[in-house]
């Protein structure tokens, strides 16, 4: 396994629409494993292939929910060629962040419950009703496959303020080297 570089805004590749995964081979398996290693190291709870420069409809998620003893338990999930449809009108507000927009967070309103169809790492098809944090995370990562970032859901003013703060922090990091 290998750590992959994570693309950050304003990299134009983050705006590409991803293409369907058609071949489920060893290369795909290695990419999935590398994406999990990269996501865990970052650390994050979701990563779309486009965020590591691969424009394929693939994303990985692990909410790493704490068990009763307080320790986080890994539960890696792979979604290939996902399709989402909202169920009902109810929305959920969640303070989102993104590995491609480092250290920046903002509240985004998304459907609370979704119906999802996808393939797993072996190409098997799945369909499930999903809610809660997993629904939010899946919608966030799915946006990446369409070239959309969470900041695109913000008002122009909030997005501008967030980007200004990000660029300022990036410059401070660069100046400290």
- Catalytic positions: 141
Q: What residue has token string 């970032």?
A: 149
Q: 52 near 59, Cβ under 8 Å?
A: no
Residues 39-48: contacts with CB under 8 Å, at least 24 apart: 39/99, 41/3, 42/6, 42/99, 44/99, 45/137, 46/137, 46/138, 46/140, 46/141, 47/6, 47/99, 47/141, 48/18, 48/141, 48/142, 48/144, 48/145
């Amino acid at each position: 396994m290998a750590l992959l570089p994570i693309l950050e805004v304003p990299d134009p590749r983050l705006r590409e629409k991803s293409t369907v995964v058609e071949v489920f081979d060893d290369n795909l398996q290695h990419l999935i494993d590398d994406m999990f290693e990269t996501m865990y190291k970052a650390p994050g709870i979701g990563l779309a292939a486009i965020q590591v420069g691969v424009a394929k409809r693939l994303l990985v998620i692990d909410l790493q929910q704490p068990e009763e003893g307080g320790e986080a338990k890994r539960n890696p999930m792979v979604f290939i060629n996902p399709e989402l449809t909202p169920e009902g009108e109810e929305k959920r507000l969640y303070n989102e962040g993104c590995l491609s927009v480092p250290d920046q967070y903002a509240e985004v309103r998304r459907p609370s419950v979704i119906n999802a169809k996808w393939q797993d790492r072996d190409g098997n098809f799945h369909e499930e009703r999903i809610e809660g944090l997993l629904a939010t995370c899946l919608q966030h990562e799915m946006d990446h496959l369409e070239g959309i970032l969470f900041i695109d859901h913000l008002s122009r003013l909030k997005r501008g303020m967030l980007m200004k703060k990000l660029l300022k922090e990036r410059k401070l990091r660069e100046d400290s080297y």
